[in-house]
Amino acid sequence: MTKTTRPPRSRAPKQERTDVLAVAIRECERKILAEYLAKNDGHVGKTAEALGLSRRALEYKIEAHGLRGDASKAREEAGIGGPRIA
């Protein structure tokens, strides 16, 4: 029985693959946070509860993603409607 050798795989370096995945996860998280903030009119406490996070954890994520601001900015980021009229 002869052993066959496989040609070397052509892959991106491991670090590059990891970076692509990290960026995709970060973008997804940002979109979800913006969507939930918009649904809760920017109310951090209600958003944290809806996502199952502590308020402090959500505040950290909001800051890390640059989502600090009013609810209309969050709605725009999430692609949910225009500004609300009271």
In the chain, what are the domains?
14-78 (1.10.10)
DSSP states along 15-76: HHHHHHHHHHHHHHHHHHHHHHHHHTTT-HHHHHHHHT--HHHHHHHHHHTT--S-HHHHHH
Please say if the pLDDT value at position 2 is more than 70. no
pLDDT of residue 86: 39
Q: Which pLDDT belongs to residue 69?
A: 73
Residue count of the chain: 86
* pLDDT of residue 32 exceeding 90: yes
Interval 41-74: pLDDT, tens? 999 999 999 999 999 999 999 999 998 875 566 6
| pLDDT value of position 80 | 66
Mean pLDDT of the chain: 81
Average pLDDT over residues 1-8: 70
Output DSSP code: residue 84. Answer: -
